[in-house]
Chains A and B, each alone.
Chain A
């Protein structure tokens, strides 16, 4: 697969920020009262994510290592301010519904996480595509959660009511409903073994490792530590060879 397209596939399916890496839970739980709110929040985050990844990747050789987090925050905060002002100017309704959660995009773990884990180590264009993939994955997840909550809690699809008011289970548009839906969707995703970084069987993992494929985090830290020891041992061997 083309390495740019691979980034997008990775962000949407394999390392979906919400269902697989479980990042950015605050906006996921708080803003998904309806499908359109989730979609809006997802797109706002995507816009910030794409440009923050691009900028941080472009600046990665200039930013000193010791102050990289404050530097990232400054870049992200500026982008969020731009997005916030644009939303206030052009999509007033959404801006009012999302409220405090728009400025809170600054502290969204996905954005910081991708800056630190990806953009700081890869070329600007690749980082931008990573941002697009992650952003779309986030948007998709939020829209699906919002869709389920809206359908069950207020009986409507994208604002069109299809279930009479007597049958609305209104707890689903309140805070507990967010937890129910997120848990159920994550459980389903795990149950049906949707392709993801964490869902690979042990044998398959080993096979893929042998084939030389780079694997994402599988949530098994111990495994990674073992691997780290291996790498360290190999590095030490190499260093000795060089000395000789």
Chain B
């Protein structure tokens, strides 16, 4: 009896995969949430407790609507994978600090129900839910969504965002931009807090540098050529640090579901993102263009992936070459043999 179990243990036969990584969706999503916490804390400290209320309300709206939808449709409830929390966090960090509460709540419901669940839930949506909701709100509530005045803040700051200021020809302080002492949405203002979170994600290998690196690089090159400011490191740095570029590049463009998975595709995706953002910022009517750039690139993603499928082992040009060499060798041997 013991022997048979022993043998069974040794000769255990099953189909692959034989080993699974310990990384789960939940762990990944929690990592993303942790990475967003520095930016979130800075937002709360900088804009006052109302920002905390906005964030909590948005996250709750996302989680509750996911739970309610899945219960109503009699689907397995997937609230515990924390993806709704991430969507809520991203959406909340994209909100101006003085927004009336019903707007982000509506956005959260839209993101989860319309953009995510109606297309089949986690992993099936073709657009980043938080960004789609942000664009939905931008179009619907243009005025409150672009009102960056800070009534609750400790120190009064001018109402124009640095990007709008730059676009109008004014100048901004780069140190303020870097630390985050500027008006803007709750999560996008502090470059250093965002970079801290990004470093955490990169160190945990949740994201690779390919998309954000290529995004920022191609954006900088685009601005160098087309912004009309030439090689002005100060202006370039302001453009990179200002607005939602850093936040978008590290936290939204790197979404697994809506971005390409192939390494070459990720590079192409980054370039498209950078160029689109540049086009929207330089030639567009508004000062910011990260959201629309990411959403448009999301739609291009299947095409990018189709064009950049990596060659499987044993296939492709080199395989053909080897095959040819082998057959040639055989022919030579055959000829030799026949010659004899």
Chain A residues engaging chain B, CB cutoff 8 angstroms: 166-172, 174, 176, 180
Q: Are A171 and B102 in contact (CB under 8 A)?
A: no
Query: Contact check: which of B106, B114, B144 meets A169 at CB < 8 Å?
Result: B106
Q: Are B140 and A169 in contact (CB under 8 A)?
A: yes
Docked pose: A170 CA to B140 CA in angstroms: 4
A-B residue pairs in contact (CB < 8 Å), sample of 18? A166-B100, A166-B144, A167-B102, A168-B140, A169-B106, A169-B140, A169-B141, A170-B139, A170-B140, A170-B141, A170-B142, A171-B136, A171-B139, A171-B140, A172-B140, A174-B139, A176-B139, A180-B114
Docked pose: A167 CA to B100 CA in angstroms: 10
B299 shortest CB reach to chain A, Å: 14
Interface string of B103-115 (1 = CB under 8 A from A): 0001000000010
Q: Which residues of chain B are within 8 angstroms of A180 by Cβ–Cβ distance?
A: 114
Q: B143's closest neighbor in chain A, by CB?
A: A166
Docked pose: A133 CA to B261 CA in angstroms: 52
Residue among B106, B140, B141, B142 with most chain A CB within 10 A:
B140
Q: Which residues of chain A are within 8 angstroms of B142 by Cβ–Cβ distance?
A: 170
Q: Which residues of chain A are within 8 angstroms of B140 by Cβ–Cβ distance?
A: 168-172
Q: Which residues of chain B are within 8 angstroms of A172 by Cβ–Cβ distance?
A: 140
A179 shortest CB reach to chain B, Å: 11
Docked pose: A176 CA to B139 CA in angstroms: 10
Q: How many A-B residue pairs have CB under 8 A?
A: 18
Known: A169-B141, A170-B142, A171-B139. 10 other contacts (CB 8 A): A166-B100, A167-B102, A169-B106, A169-B140, A170-B139, A170-B140, A171-B136, A171-B140, A174-B139, A180-B114
Q: Which of B108-164 contact A (CB under 8 A)?
A: 114, 136, 139-142, 144
Q: Which residues of chain A are within 8 angstroms of B136 by Cβ–Cβ distance?
A: 171
Docked pose: A166 CA to B114 CA in angstroms: 22
Residue among B106, B141, B142 with most chain A CB within 10 A:
B141
Docked pose: A171 CA to B107 CA in angstroms: 12
* 9 nearest A-B residue pairs (beta carbon): A171-B140, A169-B140, A171-B139, A170-B140, A171-B136, A174-B139, A170-B139, A166-B100, A169-B106
- Interface of chain B: mostly helix, strand, loop or mixed: helix
Q: Which residues of chain B are within 8 angstroms of A170 by Cβ–Cβ distance?
A: 139-142
Q: Which residues of chain B are within 8 angstroms of A168 by Cβ–Cβ distance?
A: 140
Q: Which residues of chain A are within 8 angstroms of B114 by Cβ–Cβ distance?
A: 180
Q: Which residues of chain A are within 8 angstroms of B144 by Cβ–Cβ distance?
A: 166
Q: A169's closest neighbor in chain B, by CB?
A: B140
Q: Which residues of chain A are within 8 angstroms of B106 by Cβ–Cβ distance?
A: 169
Q: Which residues of chain A are within 8 angstroms of B139 by Cβ–Cβ distance?
A: 170-171, 174, 176
Docked pose: A89 CA to B106 CA in angstroms: 44
Q: Which residues of chain B are within 8 angstroms of A166 by Cβ–Cβ distance?
A: 100, 144
Docked pose: A108 CA to B144 CA in angstroms: 40
Q: Which residues of chain B are within 8 angstroms of A171 by Cβ–Cβ distance?
A: 136, 139-140
B215 shortest CB reach to chain A, Å: 26
Docked pose: A137 CA to B102 CA in angstroms: 36
B273 shortest CB reach to chain A, Å: 23
Q: A173's closest neighbor in chain B, by CB?
A: B140
A174 shortest CB reach to chain B, Å: 7
Docked pose: A166 CA to B140 CA in angstroms: 10
Q: A180's closest neighbor in chain B, by CB?
A: B114
Docked pose: A174 CA to B141 CA in angstroms: 13
Docked pose: A180 CA to B114 CA in angstroms: 9
B172 shortest CB reach to chain A, Å: 31
Q: Which residues of chain A are within 8 angstroms of B141 by Cβ–Cβ distance?
A: 169-170
Q: B106's closest neighbor in chain A, by CB?
A: A169
A169 shortest CB reach to chain B, Å: 5
A182 shortest CB reach to chain B, Å: 14
Interface string of B26-38 (1 = CB under 8 A from A): 0000000000000
Docked pose: A168 CA to B140 CA in angstroms: 7
Q: Which of B57-102 contact A (CB under 8 A)?
A: 100, 102
Docked pose: A180 CA to B139 CA in angstroms: 14
B142 shortest CB reach to chain A, Å: 8
Q: Which residues of chain B are within 8 angstroms of A176 by Cβ–Cβ distance?
A: 139
Docked pose: A169 CA to B140 CA in angstroms: 5
B115 shortest CB reach to chain A, Å: 11
Docked pose: A181 CA to B203 CA in angstroms: 45
Docked pose: A123 CA to B266 CA in angstroms: 63
Q: Which residues of chain B are within 8 angstroms of A169 by Cβ–Cβ distance?
A: 106, 140-141
Q: Which residues of chain A are within 8 angstroms of B100 by Cβ–Cβ distance?
A: 166
B212 shortest CB reach to chain A, Å: 29
Docked pose: A139 CA to B136 CA in angstroms: 29
